[in-house]
Amino acid sequence: MAPSAANPSYPRRVFNAMPAPLKSRLRRLRVSLVPIVQCALAAGASWWIAVEIFDHPDPFFAPIAAVISLGLSLGQRWRRAAELVGGVAIGILVGDLFISLVGEGAWQIMVVVALAMLVAVFLDDGPLVPMQAASSAALVATLLPPGGVAGFHRAIDALIGGLVGILVGALLPVNPASRARRDAAGVLATVRDAARRLATGLRERDEELIAAALEAGRGTQAEINKMRSDMTGGREVTRISPLYWGSRMRLDRISATADPIDNAVRNFRIIARRSLGLTQRGVAVQPELIEIIDDLAGAFEVLRAMMMADPGEEPDQADAARVIRSIVRKARADLVTNSELSEAALLAEIRSLLVDLLMTAGLRRSSALATLRS
């Protein structure tokens, strides 16, 4: 019999019994395992190619370039590889020319690093090119003999490493949807818990609980930025890896949720801030509004589950939209007709957030607004 959620397998029970910090480290290791294998393979392969095929002695720039072009993040690998090779070439060129003319020394290192970075900044606005130019120039000025074909070989080694890194990333890719789904689900789970805390704080008129909900909402920006980066990187994987060409449409659908999720979190922060202000002024928010805020936690949860569901599994977009529509019916515009202006503003923000949630569930903005008006 296969293990169920109620009767987990022995490894799962062992994992669940571990301290939270250890579980967090193991999860981080699991997420990073494929990128680590990619970097290791690319480093070894690029060294072998440079030595055995191109007959370059000590091609240390090849594995360095391979690892940097892959990195532990998915986004912009083509650009990183090009920046890396460009930075190395600039550093080698400036270092070779300058050191061969004026010799080695402390002031020469200062000048050659500054010159390499000036040229790199002039040619490109990315952060990687100046850093690679500076480090390459410093290596030429301190450890490597300038002149001859060595400088040309080093530039070729960097190119080999960058190309091998991209090739390994294409042939042994990270699942392009997994990180994006997990990131989005993590953001939604954070706001789900904050919404529950906010509803409880409003019922109990507990300023500390409401303030904690507000801080939780404000603390999601790093998660949102990572979500956007992994969505962009995942789409890049579907372009360069034949194994995931068929995942482009799915990844496009996942990526389309980035703006609605971001906007929903921003609206939640406003709701929490208004709620805190009302509570601090001694205004009791009417129970119907508190119930809707509590229902928002359920909406965030069904969207989180939708994100983590595989194709064909439930809940899907239709299931999530159905849950959110049930909240829309409660949050009608005339709910606070006889209330003070601040409660009307709170309801308006809730309705705006519901539009974002409907869009996260796959509705177009026009359809989401029509649902709100109906």
User: HEC string of the chain?
Assistant: CCCCCCCCCHHHHHHHHCCHHHHHHHHHHHHHHHHHHHHHHHHHHHHHHHHHHCCCCCCCHHHHHHHHHHCCCCCCHHHHHHHHHHHHHHHHHHHHHHHHHHCCCHHHHHHHHHHHHHHHHHHCCCCHHHHHHHHHHHHHHHCCCCCCCHHHHHHHHHHHHHHHHHHHHHHCCCCHHHHHHHHHHHHHHHHHHHHHHHHHHHHHCCHHHHHHHHHHHHCCHHHHHHHHHHHHHHHHHHHHCHHHHHHHHHHHHHHCCHHHHHHHHHHHHHHHHHHHHHHHCCCCCCHHHHHHHHHHHHHHHHHHHHHHCCCCCCCCHHHHHHHHHHHHHHCCHHHHCCCCHHHHHHHHHHHHHHHHHHHHCCCCHHHHHHHHHC
What is the pLDDT, as a whole number, of residue 8?
59
pLDDT above 90 as % of the chain: 39
The domains of the chain are located at 34-171, 176-373
Q: What is the average per-residue pLDDT within 108-134?
A: 88
* Confidence at 129, pLDDT banded by 50, 70, 90: confident
Q: Does 92 have pLDDT greater than 60?
A: yes
* Confidence at 1, pLDDT banded by 50, 70, 90: very low
Q: What is the pTM of this model?
A: 0.70
What is the pLDDT, as a whole number, of residue 359?
95
Q: What is the average per-residue pLDDT within 125-150?
A: 77
Q: Which of 174, 140, 141, 166 is nearest to 154 (CA)?
A: 140
The architecture that CATH gives domain 176-373 is Up-down Bundle (1.20)
Convert the pLDDT of each residue in 9-65 to its tens digit: 777 777 777 787 887 788 778 777 878 888 899 999 999 999 999 998 888 888 988
Tell me the C-alpha distance between 64 and 59, whole Å: 9
* Confidence at 2, pLDDT banded by 50, 70, 90: very low
Q: What is the average per-residue pLDDT within 76-80?
A: 67
Q: What is the average per-residue pLDDT within 285-310?
A: 92
What is the pLDDT, as a whole number, of residue 146?
61
**Do 35 and 72 form a contact (C-beta atoms < 8 A)?**
yes
pLDDT above 70 as % of the chain: 92
Taking all residues of the chain, what is their mean pLDDT, rounded to a whole number? 85
* Confidence at 145, pLDDT banded by 50, 70, 90: low
Lowest mean pLDDT among 60-74, 82-96, 289-303, 346-360: 60-74
What is the pLDDT, as a whole number, of residue 5?
47
